[in-house]
Amino acid sequence: MTEPRHDPSDLSPLRARLARVGALDAAALAAERIAVLGRKGGELTALLRTLPSLEADARRAFGAAVNELKQAFEAAFDARAAALDAARRAREAAGIDLTMPGRGRWIGAEHPVTRVIAEIVELFRELGFVVATGPEAETEWYNFGALNFPADHPAMDMHDTLYLDVPEVPGDRGGRVLLRTHTSPVQIRTLLESGPPVRVVIPGLAYRNDPFDASHAPAFTQIEGLAVDEGISFVDLKATLGHFARRFFAADTRVRFRPSFFPFTEPSAEMDVGCQICGGRGCAACKGTGWMEILGCGMVHPNVLSNCGVDAERFTGFAFGMGPHRIAMLRYGIPDIRLLYEGDMRFLGQLGGGR
């Protein structure tokens, strides 16, 4: 047992509590009223009970202080209760119910494909590439012929290419009108418009007559790249794309080039990066190979240069094309491309956040 307090200055902790009554909510207010004034165990009640045992002088001075404090507490508790009550009634009148669960706010975020495109464009911008764009409806000449596809190439089949139901465009650069099957026709437009030296990246949509399944979409993004100048060699291609992979993925990302074929590049290659999911050990995402294919590339075919009026003896160049939808899938481990088209906030919310 502590000694009963007889000195009015001992009341200072209680005075401090009195000052805080105005900040209590309804539950804390009820508890504090009992803790201070409760008939059993209330702190002020206990002090009042000590008064009869005090000397007359002490009883007068201390008793007055304790009684004054008790009245102050009663007034403060009543005032706070009235204020809380008034606030509650005002909320009810305004239709606000604080017992309802909170509503989370949607915070906007870039779509993962938008983010991937922006990052890739920025990395190439640092290397001196500028953005170029072109139309999505093209003639056969821009999409195929100028790019050195032979006239009977299977890609031109209705099976793979979406043709538009409009009259053929006459002239050398015409032919049937189609939805571009890749962004490569913008290589042609860029060379025709500005000629070398050129360094461009071309983000845009491409279309193919594919079923919409886990790994194909009839409309998908591509980023094309083209550099044409005097003295450009395969070494420039490898250095540029290797640098890109290490900046975009991780500084220790391994790359490899495999021989491939495209009508508009010679030689042609495909570039793989070490699997971003398993780090190269082999997993389901890389089908056990440890590698993921991310782009097609090659040295611009001399026929493409001459189709655009560029002197193929003097100029050389490299080109590449990659799919941001696919790259977003590899980077974020997304198993089904359709998730990137559906706009389901439960999915997008997991990848949200700023760049």
Residue 39 DSSP symbol = T
Contact letters for ligand PHE, residues 162-201 (x by CB under 6 A): --------------------x-x-----------------
Residue 298 sits in the site that holds ligand PHE (CB under 6 A):
yes
Q: Which residue has the tokens 């790259």?
A: 327
Site residues (CB under 6 A) for ligand PHE, limited to 241-270? 262, 265
Tell me the H-state helices in the chain: 12-20, 26-37, 43-50, 56-93, 112-126, 140-143, 185-194, 234-248, 302-307, 324-332, 339-342, 345-351
321 binds ligand PHE (CB under 6 A): yes
- Could you say whether residue 319 binds ligand PHE (CB under 6 A)? yes
Applying CB under 6 A, the span of 25-33, 99-107, 292-300, 326-334 interacting with ligand PHE comes to: 292-300
DSSP secondary structure string for all residues of 89-119:
HHHHHTT--TTSPP-PPP-----HHHHHHHH
By CB under 6 A, name the one of 297, 328, 329, 330 that touches ligand PHE: 297
Q: Nearest-CB residue to ligand PHE?
A: 321
- Kindly state whether residue 296 participates in binding ligand PHE, applying the rule CB under 6 A: yes
Backbone angles phi, psi at 11, to 5 degrees: -80, 0
Q: Is 217 in the site for ligand PHE (CB under 6 A)?
A: no
Binder to ligand PHE among 32, 140, 224, 272 (CB under 6 A)?
224
Contact segment (CB under 6 A) with ligand PHE among 165-173, 229-237, 295-303, 309-317 equals: 295-303
Minimum CB separation from ligand PHE for residue 215, in Å? Answer: 14
d(CA 168, CA 58): 112
CB of 274 to ligand PHE, least distance (A): 21
Question: How many CB atoms sit inside 10 A of residue 234's CB?
Answer: 15
Choose between 91 and 256: whose C-beta lies nearer to ligand PHE. Answer: 256
Residue 52, preceding peptide bond in cis (omega within 30° of 0): no
Q: Chain centroid to CA 160: how far?
A: 32
Interaction site with ligand PHE (CB under 6 A): 182, 184, 224, 262, 265, 296-298, 319-321
